[in-house]
């Protein structure tokens, strides 16, 4: 992977009523195409630990620059579950601990390709526990998909603070009525677990208004930050 081509862009997570940005999600992109995630390069990198070790060096340097340049802002960044199998990921988090109050660790939904040590559960509970012990907030991305299933959400409930639901993943598969019921279900679970709920993929005011009326959540989506208007974090 050519790290000179990589850059982070920040998309705001907004308070539903005030529209204030609560924190930014850092989106990994190639510099020549800021709206497309470089999934092939990323997949190749996380599947090879030596390559991942080089990525972690770049990541630590880049995150430090972003945090130092934006001292009043909070950010989340994504970790794939495969990265939780690598010790250098925890070295990274150890080295960034001074920023733990402003850095949210967002765990995505794809199952790891290879476990570096055996564990019985579907998710690496010990990895979540370790991140929590460092003092970071953890967000579960794309709840209801992949390994971020309801069963695993309940198993991990003591270690995360934020759950994120992607409306875009369901909009082409179910009716509007079913989608709304799914959102209400996950929102109610978040309330019962005392977790912050974020809905991603908000692209129009009708959907945003329905959420404001029916669901207690933060908002994220192109209605607030379109691909052309994604906030570039200077570093």
At 12-63, the pLDDT tens digits run 999 999 999 999 999 998 877 767 898 999 999 999 999 999 999 999 999 9
Q: Which two tokens stand for residue 226?
A: 């379109």
Any residues with CB less than 8 A from the CB of 108 and at least 6 apart, and which? 78, 79, 80, 81, 141, 142, 146, 148
Is 232 a residue whose pLDDT tops 70? Answer: no
Looking at residue 225, its pLDDT comes to: 79
- From the list 2, 84, 74, 11, the residue with the least C-alpha distance to 45 is 2
Predicted confidence (pLDDT) per residue in 57-86, tens digit: 999 999 999 999 999 999 999 999 999 999
Is 229 a residue whose pLDDT tops 90? Answer: no
Predicted confidence (pLDDT) per residue in 152-179, tens digit: 999 999 999 999 999 998 998 999 999 9
Average pLDDT over residues 93-118: 96
Average pLDDT over residues 206-210: 97
Which CATH superfamily includes the segment(s) 3-232?
EAL domain (3.20.20.450)
Any residues with CB less than 8 A from the CB of 39 and at least 6 apart, and which? none
Listed by start position, the domains of the chain span: 3-232
């Amino acid at each position: 992977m050519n790290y000179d081509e990589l850059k982070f862009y920040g998309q705001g997570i907004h308070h539903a009523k005030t529209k204030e940005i609560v924190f930014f999600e850092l989106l990994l992109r190639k510099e020549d195409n800021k709206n497309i995630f470089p999934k092939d390069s990323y997949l190749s990198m996380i599947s090879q630990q030596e390559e991942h070790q080089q990525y972690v060096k770049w990541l630590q340097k880049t995150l430090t620059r972003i945090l130092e340049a934006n001292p009043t802002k909070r950010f989340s960044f994504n970790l794939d579950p495969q990265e939780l199998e690598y010790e250098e990921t925890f070295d990274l988090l150890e080295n960034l601990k001074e920023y733990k109050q402003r850095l949210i660790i967002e765990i995505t939904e794809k199952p790891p390709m290879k476990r570096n040590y055996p564990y019985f559960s579907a998710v690496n509970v010990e990895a979540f526990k370790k991140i929590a012990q460092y003092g970071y907030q953890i967000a579960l991305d794309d709840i209801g998909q992949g390994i971020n299933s309801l069963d695993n959400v309940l198993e991990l409930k003591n270690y995360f603070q934020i759950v994120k639901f992607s409306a875009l993943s369901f909009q082409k598969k179910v009716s509007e009525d079913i989608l709304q019921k799914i959102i209400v279900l996950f929102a109610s679970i978040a309330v019962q677990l005392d977790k912050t709920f974020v809905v991603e993929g908000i692209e129009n005011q009708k959907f945003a208004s329905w959420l404001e009326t029916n669901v207690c959540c933060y908002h994220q989506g192109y209605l607030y930050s379109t691909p052309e208007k994604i906030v570039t974090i200077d570093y």
